[in-house]
Amino acid sequence: MRNPFMAFIRWLLLFTILGVAGTVLVPAAAYVAGKRLIGAYEGKLGFMDYAGSIYAAAGRGELLAWLILLSPTLVWLVWFILLRLQRRLLATSG
């Protein structure tokens, strides 16, 4: 029998990791990639200005900023849905 508390903790941990990845790792990776491809960011504080502009844009409700911050969760959600559909299709066909 599955323990519902442990299942809840597992989901909470997963979404915490995805949230941290979206708010810290994705902006950091975008900053490093942009610095190598385009050049240094114009802000005085470098990464802090860059991340601050993303967070400020998200606070204003800009869609692109939210897509950047939620990208790990969205990728995980797409894979989760695709795997569920695949299992359902295989169960009904076999």
Per-residue pLDDT at 2: 79
Asked if residue 42 has pLDDT above 80, the reply is no
- In this prediction, residue 46 carries a pLDDT of 85
Q: What is the model's pTM?
A: 0.79
Tokens, residue 62: 């800009």
**Confidence (pLDDT) at 61:** 96
Q: Report domain extents, the chain.
A: 4-93
Torsions phi, psi for 39 (to 5 deg): 130, 180
Determine the pLDDT at residue 91: 87
How high does pLDDT run on average in the chain? 91
Percent of the chain at pLDDT > 70 equals: 98
- Inter-CA distances, 36 with 31, 49, 77, Å: 9, 17, 30
pLDDT at position 94 is: 63
